[in-house]
Amino acid sequence: MGKTLFVSDVHLLPASPLDHEPFLRFLSFSKKDLEALYFLGDLFDYWIGPRHLDSADYREPLRALKDLSVSGAAVYLIPGNRDYLVEKRFERATGVRVLKEFVVREFAHRRVLLTHGDFVYNRNPKYVAYRRLMELRPIRGAYLSIPEGASRRIARGFRGVSRMTTSPFRWSQRDLIADARSHFRRGIEVLVCGHIHAPQHVRTEVQGKPRDIYILGDWDGGTQEYLEFDGAFRLKAWEGR
């Protein structure tokens, strides 16, 4: 059995080759014995829709993702609050399969919920309203049709709103458990997410059974944690940056 890796909050900066280098090295490092790689949102600092595929902003990372998927590894992306406009054209260009906001998989006979985390750990109603609004086809279509410069300004402006939900100091272990409890009560045994930039493993018990939370770290100034599964889950720090 090969390994499965989980990464969140890389926040690749547009048109920034030096910023992209650690990520490119990570993809190269990850290829050996890789069965699947899940990006749990915010792979990009922002994503303005299909036009970004024709831009030079992320040219090398996109090419590397394509190479990885062609190599035989399954690569997935669960959109986050920075890159929720990825869609079918992105899938065709990269070979990366775009998943829904909440994905349930089974690892070691345990039900695992994979998500970015912005709809689990969020206390900003304005953000939730904005995301739900952007899911409406007419609104999404209108945004994608405006001039590129305007769409970039809107995307960059929205980063300020999303930052209000990501401070790691807002979330104690008690908070992490409390906000995940509804998922655990529905049969989820492991929650894996990012978003709040507070890498850690929290274990609790719900309905007499062990439950685990794995929070992944951010890569832009953070400690660049990722999660590995090769029969057991282990949080690791990427040291090849």
Record the tokens describing residue 160, joined without a space.
Answer: 């300020």
Confidence of residue 65 (pLDDT cuts 50, 70, 90): very high
Q: What integer pLDDT is reported at residue 42 of this predicted model? A: 95
What digits encode the pLDDT tens for the residues 80-92? 988 888 989 999 9
Q: What integer pLDDT is reported at residue 137 of this predicted model? A: 76
Q: Which of 47-56, 70-79, 90-99 has the lowest mean pLDDT?
A: 47-56
**Average pLDDT in the 22-45 region?**
94
Q: What integer pLDDT is reported at residue 124 of this predicted model? A: 75
Q: What integer pLDDT is reported at residue 170 of this predicted model? A: 74
What digits encode the pLDDT tens for the residues 214-235? 999 999 876 788 999 999 999 9
Confidence of residue 157 (pLDDT cuts 50, 70, 90): low
CB atoms within 10 A of CB 154: 13
Q: What integer pLDDT is reported at residue 155 of this predicted model? A: 73
Task: List, in order of start, the domains of the chain with CATH numbers.
Answer: 3-237 (3.60.21.10)
Q: What integer pLDDT is reported at residue 158 of this predicted model? A: 67
Element (H, E) at 69: helix 59-70
**What phi, psi does 2 have (nearest 5°)?**
-80, 175
pTM over 0.85: yes
Distance (Å, whole) CA 129 – CA 122? 12
Q: Which of 29-43, 114-128, 202-216, 226-240 has the lowest mean pLDDT?
A: 114-128
CA proximity to 2, closest of 44, 51, 35, 38: 35
- Tokens 């006979």 locate to 109
Residue 72 has pLDDT above 60, yes or no: yes
